[in-house]
Structure formats: structure tokens, C-alpha cells
Amino acid sequence: MSATPVWIAVMLYMVATAVYLARLFSGRERWGRAGCWILAAGLGLHTVGILLRWVEKCRLVEADRPAGWLGQITFVMENAPLANLYESMVFFSWSIVLVFLLLDRKYGLDMLGAAVSPLAAVVVALVSVLPGVSGEIEPHIPALQSYWLTIHVVTCFLAYAAFAISFVTSIIYLSSGADRKAEQGKMSKTTLEEINYNTATVGFLMLTIGIVTGAVWANYAWGSYWSWDNKETWSLITWFIYAALLHARLVASLKGKWMAILSIVGFGAVLFTFFGVNYLLPGLHSYL
Amino acid sequence: MRVLSFFKSVKLAIALILVLAASSVIGTLFPQDLPPHRGVLEYGESGYRVLEFLGVFDLYHSGWFRLLVVLLAVNILVCSTSRLRRTYRLVMWKGGTGHGEAPAGLPLRRTREMDESPDVLLPRLGERVRRLGLRVRFEGEGTLRADRGGIGRWGPGLSHLGFLVIISGMVIGSITGFRGNLDLLEGETDNRVYLRSGEIVDLPFEIRCDSFEATFYEGTARPKEYASRLAVVEGGEERLEKRIEVNDPLKYRGYWFYQSTYGTLGPAPGEGWIDLAVQPEDVLIHLEMGERKPIEGTADEVELLRFEPDFVMDENREVTSRSEQIRNPAAQIRVYREGKPVFRQWVFGQFPDVHPRAEIAHVFSLTGYETREFTGLQVAYDPGVPVVWVGCGFLILGLFLSFTVPHRRFWARVERRGGGATLRVAAGSRGGGRFFEESIDSLLEELSKEDARS
């Protein structure tokens, strides 16, 4: 039941892709605004889908619902639909669209819509392709029964989403010509550089909070705030790469091109942290 | 001084950060804390020795990895302290160029000729700049300066300080703290913690486990909750009682006790019992560990030698337990005929007739055994943890200030020229300067229009 709105949202993201492409080729800003509204509608449905699943998950363990408002909040946060690969991919896609729309309001990113919208659609579509991904609703194992689950996972995925947009910007930056001024229907390299930096700062701040909240949680659950678990280590590697990116802006010879390269490498590290660690390396984060 | 200027480099920082990232990758490619005999099997004798020397099996605690962290820490310390003075001067409007000239570090420069006199122009300009959200101060001699968000300039310093504090906290923890395991049977009291290094630490108080409980979601094998009821006993007195579960540890005097594992112990050397069924005599014998009893109706006796909860035989035919869970329970018994030992045999709980011996004419099966639940606690003592949290707080607050509070500065000087005035403006913003510069330009535009109207 909760999956249907999400799939409709995916279709809307595909429609938005087409509209954003029209904006790119026609050069008319009207198309960009239309794409933005279609994405927003998709995001609304996506949100409904996630909330429906959240309610279903809470119902599943209804018998354990504690009394008192604090207990209620804890209970709801413990049962957030963020506990396995299926749920996190659906949420990753949601984060990409949300962060894109927010940053679009601030920096005017509609030129990137044609690349970001299909990304959001593909992430959800992947759940039906990847091996071992089940959409079944299951109650949480003891290790995940903590309100830190919601705080930790949400901040991490907001970071990943910002990095995804930084990645798309960097690809466009490297593939556009040497001319630093804006050509007809294209963004100038200086603007792309600025967007790359600004999205990276948003992602870096969120990733830092994500790692710290993960450490606080680990200190409650595993008896150590840092155990060099493979997922922890890869999140730190990602953090290092983006730290290098932010500092590269201070060095004239590294500004621009190297920031774009680091953003692409950094997003590779993000993907490895998310998927690679689970498929290729053993570790404590075995549930996700 | 030469060393100092070597470390005062952002390029060095970037290089060190990337080298640290690449080194961290290596640690995820090799198993950490690999037992030597497994390592030799996997990589060969000499291969293992080379890799061991390079520290890849305990990479994050190896000398060279720590050296890299120390180099980065020194780098950060030198860079950050050398920036402090510059930051202070920028925030406090100290220094800069000569009298009546715009201060340094303000990239946007504009000059306008105006018709009105400075006495009208300056307050009007001040009002417009105030509307941009800047704090305006009139300096006299037709000079105005305004700023906002100076605190944002301290963001990078604060976040780098946070990074250094986190590292200090980790160092404190690794010197003064420890992590280990404490397994307790239900009803047992103990204070000995086994560290991974093999060392044993005696806690200054004792922990008692009153009960352990593992529950599962109805109708499934999916675990729902692992919980132990613990009590702290100090000097014979009970100080604290708490039911701990995963994600909810017991804390007492800086020691944290976590629900980590659990298991069921069968009979151990010197304690416990089994029930043994014997065919074709069809008798049931209750045997204590080490006890010898006659098999009714025969001249034979049977003795219980050993019990393993998860029987496994390795390549040298040595018997051990694969785990501490009762998965493949097995008891070793010895049969005596006319007082003399005749043979030994393993009897399995799950496979009743594995090795019936025809010549003895008895078929044994293991029908029961004593079980005792134990809870596996992880014990952590780490005085560095609060330091790490303070560092994390600095780091996050510093990043917030750096990325969300732009330091915007505006300077203007109005000089009388005939009936009108010359307006000189300088402005700059740290982080996202484009929007600020645009708003300054449109401000000047409006000011000129108003000037032309009057």
C-alpha cells in the first residue's frame, strides 16, 4: 500500500526530467519552473508513501507502545522506515529531491534538474534490481531500537543528497568548455564552482552531524564511539575527501577543477559507503 | 622557523588529508586483528610477515598511521594559530591602509560623484545600509563603517579546535581507558573483565546478574529484545539495580556495562549433569560430571568425562566447541567392563545413533543436560569520551558558523567637492559574496537616483 505513492512519485520524477530537458534546450525559464512544481508534487507523494510505511511499522509493534508523550516520541522515532536497504534507498531518493528543491530556491539550480530528477528516479528503481533487497515490513532488531536511528540516518542521507547534487554540478563543470563566461543556455563556470562549493558545505556539515550522531549512538549500543567498523571507516574516508575539497578552494591552483574532481571522487566514496561496504565488506552495520 | 613555515601550508593539509583517506582504505581491505595462524594460511609465511611489518592488520593503531594523524594535528595547530591574529584584525577593523583610505580585504570598490552635500548624504547612506541588516557606525570625518556576522569568522578556528580536541580525547581514552568482556551466569557475581589483549582488569566493585531474557517477535526467529537484570555490589552492599538491554547500558562511576551477547552453557568441568538413555536395557542414567555409575542389569559402568555445547572436530581430530551456544551438544563417556575401561565415545544430543558399537551391545543417547543461561556484557571505561563530545560540539558549531554566518563588511567615505560630494565605497563578504555585492550595487543605484531627484 505504502509503495504505490512512491512509484507514482518516481513517474513524476521522470516527467520532470523531460520538462527540465525542455528547459535546457528551449532556454525558457518557464519550463524550469514547471519542472520544479512537478518535482515538488512528486516529493509530496513520496512523503505520503514514507509516512504510510512509518504508520504501518508502528502498528506492527503497537503492543509495545509506551505511555507518556516522551515515550510516544521515542517509540515513533525508533520505528522510522530507515532500517534496511529498501527503506534507505527510498529515503535517499526523497532526500535528493528535497535538498535539490531547497538549494534551487536559494541558488537557482534549474539547469541541473535534468540530471538530478532522473537520479532520484533511478535510486528508487534500483530497489527492484539489486539482489537481496526486500520491501517487506519488519519490526526492528534490538540493535536498531533507538531514537538515534532517525537522527543518524536522516542527517547522513541529507549529506549524501547534497553530495549527489555537488557531483552532478562537477560533472557539468568538467564537461563544459574552458570559457568562464556564461554561454547561451548554460551556466557559467564560476556559478558552477560556487554551487559545487555551497552544496559541498551543506553536505559536509550534515555528514559531520551524521558521523557524530552515529558515534553517540555507537557509544550507547556497541560500547565504543568509534570501532573502525568498515562503514565508519568509509564514512570517515568520505569526510576526508570533502574536507580536502573545502580546503582546495583556499589554494588558487586547486580551485575549480580540483574541487570538481574531488567532488566526483567523494561521491564515489559516498556510494561505496552506502552500497559497497554492505555488499563487499563485513562489519557491524550488517543490517544496513 | 623553517619547520613552522613548512607546517603553515594549506597544500600540506590537503595532501595529508588525502593520504590519510587513502591509508584508511587499506585498513578496510585487510582483516583487522587477524590471528597469526589464519594470516599465515591466507598470505603465506613471508607474505604475512611483510604485511604484519607494514601494520596492515592493525592499521589504525600502527605507528605510521598515528604519525600521519600527528602531522595533520601539528599542521592544523600551526595554520589555525597563525590565522587568529588576522581574524581578530578583520573582525575588529584593525590595521589596513592609510588615513581616509578603505581598509584592506574589501574587494568591491565603487566611486560615485553626488550632487548633495555630505551632511545629507552620509545619514541617508547609513539608513540604507542599516536596512541591509548591517550594524552601522559613523566614524567622523565623513566616514562610515558597517558590519554583520563577525562571529562567522571564528567558525573555521572553532571547528579546527574541535578536531584537535577530538584527537586529544581519543588519546586520553587509549591511555587511561579500557574495553573488555564480562560474562555472568544468572545469579553469578563477578568483577573480572577480560580485555582483548588477554589482560584481566579487576573492577573496584562487583556486578551481579539476576536474570537474562531473550525474546523474539511472535512466530518468528527475529530477535526482539535482549535484556539482563544487573546489580552493582560494592563492599557487600547493593548500590544500584538496572535492567539493561541493547541501546540502554548500565553506568556506574564512569564504567559502562552493555548488553553484548548471550549464550547457554552446558555442563562444564567439575559441574553439571547429563541424562543418558541406554538401549536395549532401556534404562535412564543421571550422571554428574566425572561421576561413574553402573548400567542396571549388566556388569558394565559408565562415566561422564566431558561436555561440549557446539561439538566440532578439527583437522587434527581435536574436539572443541565452535561457539558458546548449545547448537550441537555432545557428551564424552567412558564405559567400564569388570572395572576396567573398555572404550570412550562421544554421544550426541541431535544425532542419537551416530556410533553404536556392536561389540559392546549398548546404544547410548543423550536425552538431557543441565543448561545455564549467561549474559555477555561489554565493559567500557573511557574518561576520554566527554572530551570527544566537547570536540564534536566545537566542530559542528564551528562548521555552522563558517557556512551559515557570512561576515559582511561595508565602508564608505564622503568628501566634499564643490557643492556636492565624492562617495567612495568598499565592501566584502566572507562566503557567498556574490549576493552581497549585488545588493550593494543596487543600493548605490537607488542612492544615485534619489540624489538626482533632489
* Cα Rg of chain B, angstroms: 38
For chain B, say whether A21 makes contact (Cβ under 8 Å): no
For chain B, say whether A228 makes contact (Cβ under 8 Å): yes
B37/A104: higher pLDDT: A104
Q: Which of A228-237, B111-120, B244-253 is least confident? A: B111-120
For chain B, say whether A34 makes contact (Cβ under 8 Å): no
* Signed CA dihedral, B104, B109, B113, B119: sign only: negative
B306 min Cα distance to partner chain A (Å): 34
pLDDT for A179: 59
pLDDT at B95 over 70: no
**Chain A residues close to B21, C-beta within 8 Å:** 237, 240-241, 244, 269
For chain A, say whether B256 makes contact (Cβ under 8 Å): yes
The pTM of the full predicted model, rounded to 2 decimals, is 0.86
For chain A, say whether B377 makes contact (Cβ under 8 Å): no
A119 min Cα distance to partner chain B (Å): 26
pLDDT for B352: 67
B109 min Cα distance to partner chain A (Å): 20
How open is the CA angle B171-B245-B387, to the nearest 5 degrees? 20
Distance (Å, whole) CA A179 – CA A226: 46
Query: Which residue stretches of chain A are H helix?
Result: 3-26, 29-60, 69-78, 85-107, 113-125, 148-175, 189-221, 230-248, 257-271, 277-280
Mean pLDDT by 10 residues, chain A (288 residues): 84 94 86 93 95 92 85 91 90 95 87 92 88 82 89 96 95 77 66 90 97 95 90 96 94 86 97 85 64
pLDDT for A288: 56
**Chain B residues close to A237, C-beta within 8 Å:** 21, 24-25
Test mutation, A190, A233, A236, chain B, max B CBs within 10 A: A233
- For chain B, give the mean pLDDT: 88
User: What does the pLDDT average to over B430-448?
Assistant: 82
**In angstroms, what CA-CA distances link A253 with A56, A173, A198?**
54, 16, 19
3-state SS of B381-431 is: ECCCHHHHHHHHHHHHHHHHHHHHCCEEEEEEEEEEECCEEEEEEEEEEEC
For chain B, say whether A244 makes contact (Cβ under 8 Å): yes
Cell, residue B104: 584592506
For chain B, say whether A182 makes contact (Cβ under 8 Å): no
CB pair distance less than 8 Å for B14 and A247: yes
**DSSP labels for B275-321?**
EEEEETTTEEEEEETT-EEE-TTSSEEEEEEEEETBEEE-TT--EEE
Check if the beta carbon of residue A113 is closer than 8 Å to that of residue A21: no
Test mutation, A240, A246, A262, chain B, max B CBs within 10 A: A240
**Domains by residue range for chain B, with CATH:** 2-87 (no CATH), 93-149+406-453 (3.30.310.80), 176-266+374-396 (no CATH), 273-371 (no CATH)
CB pair distance less than 8 Å for A142 and B27: no
CB pair distance less than 8 Å for B256 and A223: yes
| pLDDT tens, position by position, B335-386 | 998 888 888 888 888 776 666 666 667 888 888 888 888 899 999 999 999 9
B208 min Cα distance to partner chain A (Å): 19
Cell, residue A257: 577543477
For chain B, say whether A160 makes contact (Cβ under 8 Å): no
B226 min Cα distance to partner chain A (Å): 7
Query: Which residue stretches of A176-229 are H helix?
Result: 189-221
Distance (Å, whole) CA B112 – CA B445: 10
Distance (Å, whole) CA A56 – CA A264: 38
pLDDT at B225 over 60: yes
| pLDDT tens, position by position, B296-307 | 878 889 999 999
B33 band by pLDDT with thresholds 50, 70 and 90: confident
pLDDT at B251 over 90: yes
For chain B, say whether A218 makes contact (Cβ under 8 Å): no
pLDDT for B432: 56
CB pair distance less than 8 Å for A251 and B224: no
Test mutation, A237, A249, A284, chain B, max B CBs within 10 A: A237
B32: closest chain A residue by CA: A228
CB pair distance less than 8 Å for B14 and A251: yes
Which letter does DSSP use for residue B93 in this model? T
**Chain B residues close to A221, C-beta within 8 Å:** 246-247, 258
